[in-house]
């Protein structure tokens, strides 16, 4: 009898909860978890933003990230980079947080599933 490692199973095949025709697999659960972390983290970081000269470390960090994203987009599009920042920034944060949380024992990155990657 061969023992199957969890690394060989797709997160789509791991059913966490099922009721009637509704199933909650690991990909959906961990995607919701990453989204909740992003929402709470965004609220905590942006609740005290200011336009004054004295900015917090978090605000400075966010401005650096946005500047990097703006620079990358403007290199590719040459104009109109500001309209793509929300989409590209959200994708960047989702992929980054998903991949960093892999260091938590038991967490399976939603980006390891082909359904998330294809979407």
47-106 tens-digit pLDDT: 877 777 787 888 888 889 889 888 888 888 878 888 888 888 888 889 999 999 889 888
| pLDDT at residue number 4 | 46
CA distance 79 to 104: 40
Tell which residue, 101, 91, 114, has the closest CA to residue 30.
101
Please name the residue that has the structure tokens 């703006």.
70
Q: How confident is the model at residue 34 (pLDDT cuts 50, 70, 90)?
A: very high
Q: Would you give the distance in Å from CA 72 to the centre of its chain?
A: 19
- pLDDT, mean of residues 25-53: 85
Return all residues near 35 (Cβ < 8 A) that are at least 6 apart. Answer: 94
Q: 110, 98 in Cβ contact below 8 A?
A: yes
Lowest mean pLDDT among 10-14, 85-89, 97-101, 112-116: 10-14
Q: How far is CA 114 from CA 18, 22, 45, 82, in A?
A: 21, 20, 31, 30
CA distance 51 to 114: 42
Q: How confident is the model at residue 11 (pLDDT cuts 50, 70, 90)?
A: low
CA distance 53 to 56: 10
CA distance 100 to 90: 15
Report the predicted TM-score, pTM, of the whole model to 2 decimal places. 0.74
Structure tokens at 21: 């025709």
């Amino acid at each position: 009898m061969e023992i199957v490692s969890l690394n060989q199973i797709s997160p789509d095949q791991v059913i966490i909860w099922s009721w009637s025709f509704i199933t909650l697999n690991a990909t959906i659960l961990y995607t919701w978890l990453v989204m909740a972390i992003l929402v709470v983290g965004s609220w905590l970081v942006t609740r005290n933003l200011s336009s004054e000269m004295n900015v917090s470390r978090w605000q400075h960090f966010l401005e650096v990230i946005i500047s990097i994203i703006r620079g990358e987009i403007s290199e590719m599009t040459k104009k109109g980079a500001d309209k793509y920042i929300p989409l590209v920034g959200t994708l960047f944060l989702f992929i980054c947080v998903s991949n960093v949380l892999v260091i938590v024992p038991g967490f399976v990155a939603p980006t390891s599933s082909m359904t998330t990657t294809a979407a």
